[in-house]
Structures are given as structure tokens and as C-alpha cells.
Amino acid sequence: PLTPVQKAMAKQMVRSVSTIPHFTVSDELVMDPLIALKGSLKAQFADADIKLTFMPFFIKALSLCLTEFPQFNARLSEDGNAMTYFDDHNIGFAVDSSAGLLVPNIKQVQNLSVLEIAEAMQRIVTDAKQGKVSSSDLKGGTISISNVGVLGGTTATPIINYPELAIVALGKIQQLPRFDDQQQVISQSVMQVSWSADHRVIDGATMVRFNNVWLDYLSNPLKMLSKLR
């Protein structure tokens, strides 16, 4: 039989695909600048007993985008006639826990540093592995990230975490040949990213613009750092 967590997730997924008209936008992210930044910060985070991954950067960049595109940090009413916008960026991330798939969220990311996001993630992931994620960590999410690439997946079509309006799936990092500005072949670290959005309130052009800003922050991380408070 399904566990309670699996039953809840199954119900959530069925509700999402039967209620939300999904559409997907895919793109690629050149990771080399972010890899370099992560490497330069690794020792500093280790001093704080925090294992630094790429996810805190993805989450912080997403929060910066939500400030520019508040319609992604919102919820559509049950009857589809009204939108509720949220001030707080409560960004969820998928966790493969001992009890099954969970999507806890980090609260008020707009007010957090990359270090603070990493600390919150580490706490939540530790709790998930021990099967004791708090209900407060599972409630109130406004948008989500699924890092399927950590297990080896290249692309995915993510299902929106109802009643949120969008989700992004991250693929694995690959070394691929690309052309530079001088049309010379170079090796780059590339990640495929795939967004799913609620087509009732988010059109394709808006989704692409949102993605472009997000990718710009991540491929030019100094630009992202310049926006941090």
C-alpha cells in the first residue's frame, strides 16, 4: 500500500494535471561562471559548517526574478476569477526523502542571503532524511524547483505543485561543445532547464522573459550579487 506521503503526493499530482493547463519552456544554462563562483565561496561556507551546492544560487536568482515578475508569485482562485499576490517568496524544492517525494519550502527568500538559504536547505534536507520535516516547512510555498539532474536526468517536464503557478526542473551538468563569439568551438558546462507554467494566467512570452532574466542572473552571477541587499 501507499504511504500517507505517497497518497498525498498522488492526490496533489492528479489535482494539478486535471486542473492546470500546463505548458513548458526549455532552455540551457551555461554554468561555468557559477561553477567558478561556487568554488571561490566553498571554503567560506565550510567555515560555517555548510556544504555549498548550486541550489541556493538558483533559489536566490529565482527570488530576484519574482520581484520583477510578481505574477509568478501568486495564486489563482478556485473559480479562476481572481489572483492573490504574495509578498513573501516561499520557494519550494523537491526532496527525495525516506517517506517519499516532499516539496518543502524556504520562507521569505527575498530577505535571505545565499548563505542563509544554504543553511535552511541543509536543515530541511537533514530533517527529511530523518523523516521529521515539519508541517510549516511543507505549507505556504509559492513556486518550486525540481533538481532531477542531481540523479542524472537531462530534461524533464515538471508538474506544477498546485496551487502554485510555475515550476522549473534542472537537468544534470554536461560538458558540451559550443561556439564562442569568434565562432571557435569551446567546451562549456551546460545545464538544461525546463519550466512548466499555468497557461491560464502566464503566457508564453512572459514565461520566456522570466526565464531570460533568471538565466542572465545565473550566467552572470556578479550581476545577481549586485542586486543582493
Lowest mean pLDDT, pick from 63-77, 127-141, 158-172: 127-141
pLDDT tens digit string along 89-111? Answer: 999 999 988 778 899 999 999 99
Torsion sign over Cα 122, 173, 192, 41: positive
96 is catalytic: no
Domain that holds residue 107: 4-226
pLDDT of residue 97: 82
pLDDT band at 214 (very low <50, low <70, confident <90, very high): very high
pLDDT of residue 225: 83
Q: In total, how many domains does the chain have?
A: 1
Three cell numbers, residue 218: 545565473
87 is catalytic: no
pLDDT of residue 129: 85
Task: Report the pLDDT averaged over residues 70-95.
Answer: 97
pLDDT band at 158 (very low <50, low <70, confident <90, very high): very high
* CATH code, domain with 196: 3.30.559.10
The model carries a pTM of: 0.95
- The residues that bridge with 197 in the sheet, in sequence order, are 23, 166
- What does the radius of gyration of the chain's CA atoms come to, in whole angstroms? 18
Q: Which residue out of 27, 49, 203, 216 is catalytically annotated?
A: 203
Q: Which residue out of 27, 32, 96, 199 is catalytically annotated?
A: 199
Torsion sign over Cα 147, 148, 149, 154: negative
Please tell me which residue, 153 or 75, carries the higher pLDDT value. 75
